[in-house]
Homo-oligomer: A and B are copies of this chain.
Amino acid sequence: MLLTDIEIARAAKKRPIAEIGAKLGIPEAALIPYGRDKAKVDRSFIAGLDDRAEGRLILVTAVSPTPAGEGKTTTTVGLGDALARIGKRTAICIREASLGPNFGMKGGAAGGGLSQIVPMEEMNLHFTGDFHAITAAHNLLAAMIDNHIHWGNALDLDPRRITWRRVMDMNDRALRDIVVGLGGPANGYARETGFDITVASEVMAILCLARDLDDLQDRLGRIVVGYRRDKTAVTCRDLKADGAMTVLLREALQPNLVQTLENTPAFVHGGPFANIAHGCNSVMATGTALKLADYVVTEAGFGADLGAEKFFDIKCRKAGLKPAAAVIVATVRALKMHGGVARADLAREDVAALRVGCANLGRHIENVRGFGVPVVVAINHFAADTPAEIAALQAYVAGQGAEAILCDHWARGGAGAEDLARRVVALAEAGARFAPLYPDDLPLWDKIETIARRIYHAGEVAADPAVRAQLAAFEAAGHGPLPVCMAKTQYSFSTDPALRGAPSGHVVPVREVRLAAGAGFVVAICGEIMTMPGLPRVPAAESIGLDQAGNVVGLF
């Protein structure tokens, strides 16, 4: 009988968290326990690691996602377990899950099958409270903005040009567009605003890019909350909110340590959106892991065109990280969909369609290599994959000068990814020559064009004059050296989610650009980006509850 992910997770033979920390040489005194199976790593211990050499950083990314599923996190976990099995001191780094969306659609595991990170329930609920702290810090700033205006608006903030909204970790469409400050003089000035979901907060992106508490406060201070009538920016520091926000985030900045089913240490920390933000776990977690482990396996959001590009151009650039190798996760199923097969027909062997769909994988291989990072493809094995399909996929990848390794970690845990692990070690030991895609001093528009042409293979990048004027204004205000963060559909290299495979020559329309001065990037929005989800007709919440034993049911 096949067990579900949650059944496997509940049966996990977890080791006490102090034992997991000890695998990385973290003394028990440097672990701040949250229950017996979760801990934060104390900042003073982390600060003492500065002089240590760093391990090798392995990025797990994927083909463009399809409804067929790729198993990127599952592969991240399986590879981590496999590296530990072949004797490498290993740590895994992934993002935290957002609480709210679990009550809409069913929540998920971190990984799947025998390649999971636990405790699964807590990781899908409050975990160590990081997202709640981010919500509080974000909303404190919002309260201070309206309060400032209420008491006389000495900073002359234009109430029509306030860009800072509020956040909640909940799917609540009714809060997307609201009017606040109604009810008379005691309640302030009425104005339009709204709520985003917490993972869309710039505070989330900042927490994930901050190197330490000082850097965190500096970044928070740089947040632009809105503009005066003369279009000059008003910042969080102008409102003197940065110190109090840092206090609210003091504990949240410390990385969370948990474990895989095979007791490999895993840092699960931070969770920025992968569209309007950069979509990777915190620099604090990755940086700490690199000081403690020989191999650090991490992942980036969505496919490699979005996730890996942002990982390289935003996170690695800003944090000085040098990835040693990249794993691109592909499945026979997903590539068949990229080759035109409908979801309902995936069980049928279709080598021809697979070969067509391989173009999507090929483009990602080429792109990742363009950053100077060596690539191996992990074929995340599904039961219905046929030998002919697997052989065709491996032949295609070999034709690209790379290797595609069949992995079975979902069914077998780390043992199913040992071949992949050995190949990753070989690539990483051979050395990489990582470089970001574009230099800091390229104009903002040219950065967008570079990504669209080189990564997406677009023929043209289009934008209204207002968008170009906005970029010019950002540059005039000194934000020109920032990297750009592309917000585009994850389902295609183009901006049309239905266009699978490897389209070329399409037009990328940049509808809007936004400044995230604290996080340190300019967001280019190319398509509809939803920053506050809604609940479906029958929300998962309706069937979530506790059973007689106090276990959560209906969440997974």
> Chain A interface (Cβ within 8 Å of chain B)?
32-36, 43-44, 99, 103, 125-126, 129, 132-133, 135-136, 139-140, 142-144, 146-147, 150-152, 168-183, 186-188, 192, 194, 213, 217, 239-244, 246-248, 250-251, 534-535, 537, 539-546, 550, 552, 554-555
Contact = CB atoms under 8 A, between A and B. Distances in A.
A552 B246 CA distance: 10
A247 B125 contact: yes
B142 A172 contact: yes
A179 to B, nearest CB: 4
Given A126-B129, A169-B136, A173-B150, A144 B244 contact: no
Contacts of A250: 546, 550, 552
Contacts of A177: 181-183, 187
Contacts of A171: 143
25 contacts: A33-B34, A103-B244, A126-B136, A132-B132, A132-B135, A140-B170, A144-B539, A146-B173, A147-B534, A150-B174, A152-B537, A173-B181, A173-B188, A177-B182, A177-B187, A182-B192, A217-B546, A240-B543, A242-B545, A243-B541, A243-B546, A243-B554, A244-B544, A244-B554, A247-B552
B192 A173 contact: no
Contacts of A136: 99, 126, 132, 169-170
Contacts of A182: 177-179, 192
B178 A179 contact: yes
Given A34-B33, A139-B168, A186-B173, A546 B247 contact: yes
Contact of A187 (B176, B244, B554): B176
A492 B182 CA distance: 31
A233 B537 CA distance: 22
A310 B163 CA distance: 45
Contacts of A246: 545-546
Given A144-B539, A150-B534, A248-B125, A546 B213 contact: yes
A143 B174 contact: yes
A30 to B, nearest CB: 12
B35 A32 contact: yes
A320 B410 CA distance: 53
Contacts of A34: 33-35
A170 B151 contact: no
B187 A180 contact: no
Contacts of A169: 136
Contact of A33 (B33, B186, B241): B33
A241 B240 CA distance: 39
B542 A240 contact: yes
A408 B146 CA distance: 44
A12 B125 CA distance: 33
B173 A541 contact: no
A246 B546 CA distance: 7
Nearest to A251: B126
Contact of A132 (B32, B44, B129, B183): B129
A240 to B, nearest CB: 4
A303 to B, nearest CB: 27
A139 B170 contact: yes
Given A140-B170, A176-B187, 14 more contacts: A125-B247, A126-B136, A126-B248, A126-B251, A136-B169, A144-B535, A146-B172, A147-B174, A150-B173, A150-B534, A178-B180, A178-B181, A179-B179, A239-B542
A35 B144 CA distance: 31
Contacts of A143: 103, 170-172, 174, 535
A121 to B, nearest CB: 9
